[in-house]
């Protein structure tokens, strides 16, 4: 092989290598952009410590929802404050630091139009009669609650479940003299659980949280009331994007599966 041929082959190899280097460099830049894009998308997920005011009847199901949401949204932590919807409304009006609100009725939420964003119904519920374990007084319908021998407890009229209870009793022209009127549905359930009342009207989902402690007597749909649960962001929230993300998530199939698994109805 001649020296001239060898020199030509070497020169060609050098030129080829020189041409390939920019192409390799370009490929590296494209991969880098893809990686940065993925990281950018992940970092765009709102992260914050959220405080959510929620109706007492959501206590158990939101405990489950919190675990799922926080696992899927690293960096976001949710603290729930549960109370009767009317109490939550008072907190919002007084400027309590919070990011989102979920009530057990639309009336309460509608009264806060200047304080919250556009609400969205995330679930519905119905009433049942809660009795002691085994239903010792053999209560089977609403009419029996008018028996003066029974100790019946209801929620106060300004509480959503109390207002729904009054609605169904009035529609059936049934007069009940409760031994007490409680501040939220969990307080009504507790009275029955502890044997301090023979019966009380609660949400179906609340009775389901006390299996083996109370029995639930079904109220026919024709005599029942449907409770709607609206969720909304609070306008004074310091974490509006993260709050909006959580409220939106409550309407997703995953969140709906959790709610319906706890006995809530579809929105």
Report residue 189: phi and psi, to 5°.
-60, -40
pLDDT more than 70, % of the chain? 83
Smallest Cα–Cα separation from 239: which of 71, 79, 39?
Answer: 79
Determine the average pLDDT of the residues in 57-62. 98
Q: Quick one: fold of 125-226? A: D-Maltodextrin-Binding Protein; domain 2 (3.40.190)
pTM of the model: 0.82
Q: Please give the Cα distance from 188 to 182 (Å, whole number).
A: 6
Smallest Cα–Cα separation from 162: which of 137, 187, 133, 139?
Answer: 187
Tell me if domain 49-124+228-261 and domain 125-226 are identical in fold: yes
CATH superfamily of 49-124+228-261: Periplasmic binding protein-like II (3.40.190.10)
In this predicted model, what pLDDT tens digit does every residue of 122-160 receive, in sequence order?
999 999 999 999 999 999 999 999 999 999 999 999 999
Q: Please give the Cα distance from 147 to 161 (Å, whole number).
A: 21
b (16+ CB within 10 A) / e for 31-68 = eeeeeeeeeeeeeeebbbebbbbbbbbbbbbbeebbee
Q: Is 6 exposed, middle or buried, given 0-12, 13-18 or 19+ CB atoms closer than 10 A?
A: exposed
For the chain, the domains span 49-124+228-261, 125-226
**Confidence band for 58, pLDDT divided at 50, 70 and 90:** very high
Determine if residue 212 is left, alpha or beta; phi over 0 gives left, psi from -120 to 50 gives alpha, anything else beta: left
Q: Is the pLDDT of residue 31 over 70?
A: no
């Amino acid at each position: 092989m001649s020296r001239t041929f060898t020199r030509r082959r070497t020169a060609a190899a050098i030129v080829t290598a020189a041409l390939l280097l920019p192409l390799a460099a370009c490929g590296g830049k494209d991969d880098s952009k893809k990686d940065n894009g993925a990281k950018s998308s992940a970092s765009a997920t709102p992260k914050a410590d959220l405080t959510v005011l929620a109706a007492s009847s959501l206590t158990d199901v939101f405990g489950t929802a919190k675990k799922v949401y926080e696992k899927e949204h690293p960096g976001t932590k949710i603290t729930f404050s549960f109370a009767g919807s009317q109490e939550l409304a008072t907190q919002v009006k007084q400027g309590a630091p919070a990011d989102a609100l979920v009530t057990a009725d639309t009336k309460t939420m509608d009264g806060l139009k200047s304080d919250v964003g556009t609400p969205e119904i995330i679930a519905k519920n119905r009433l049942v009669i809660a009795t002691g374990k085994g239903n010792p007084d053999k209560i089977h319908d609403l009419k029996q609650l008018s028996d003066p021998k029974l100790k019946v407890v209801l929620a106060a009229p300004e509480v959503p479940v109390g207002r729904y209870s009054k609605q169904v009793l009035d529609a059936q022209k049934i007069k009940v003299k409760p031994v007490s009127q409680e501040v939220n549905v969990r307080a009504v359930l507790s009275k029955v659980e502890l044997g301090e009342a023979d019966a009380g009207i609660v949400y179906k989902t609340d009775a389901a949280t006390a299996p083996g402690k109370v029995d639930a007597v079904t109220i026919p749909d024709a005599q029942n009331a449907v409770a709607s649960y609206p969720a909304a962001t609070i306008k004074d929230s310091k974490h509006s994007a993260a709050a909006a993300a959580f409220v939106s998530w409550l309407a997703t199939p995953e969140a709906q599966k959790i709610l319906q698994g706890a006995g809530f109805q579809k929105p």
